[in-house]
């Protein structure tokens, strides 16, 4: 993604790895988290919510002036999460390319600090 090296479980996990531990460590070692939110994901119980909770715990370790969590909506979902609503989000609908550009601007501007 435009010079970035995203960690994605479907591409980065190796066969035989303990995925729960690897995902937790990857969240803790990430410089940025892009929280992909959809009508399906926000209402889903399970590990998706646990990963989001882990990322929000790591968020507490960052100075308020630094970007760590970037909420991104994949569709017109209603995000009822207090902490996530504190951050300006990016919508990838109706214009995917414009949304990606906005994410990249955030990453580049934050890296300059």
90-101 pLDDT, tens digit each:
999 999 999 999
Cα 107 to Cα 67: distance, rounded to the nearest angstrom: 8
Domain ranges of the chain: 18-111
56-109 pLDDT, tens digit each:
999 999 999 999 999 999 999 999 889 999 999 999 999 999 999 999 999 988
Cα 37 to Cα 93: distance, rounded to the nearest angstrom: 12
29-51 pLDDT, tens digit each:
999 999 999 999 998 899 989 99
Question: In the chain, which ranges are continuous DSSP H helix?
Answer: 9-12, 19-28, 39-42, 47-59, 96-111
């Amino acid at each position: 993604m435009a010079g970035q090296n995203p960690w994605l479980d479907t591409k980065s996990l190796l066969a035989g790895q303990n995925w729960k531990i690897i995902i937790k460590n990857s969240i803790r070692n990430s410089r940025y988290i892009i929280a992909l939110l959809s009508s399906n994901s926000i209402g889903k119980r399970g590990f998706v919510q646990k990963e989001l909770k882990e990322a929000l715990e790591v968020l507490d370790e960052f100075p308020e002036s630094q970007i760590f969590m970037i909420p991104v909506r994949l569709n017109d979902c209603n995000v009822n999460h207090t902490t996530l609503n504190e951050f300006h989000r990016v919508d990838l609908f109706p214009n995917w390319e414009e949304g990606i550009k906005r994410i990249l601007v955030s990453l580049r501007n934050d890296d300059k600090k």
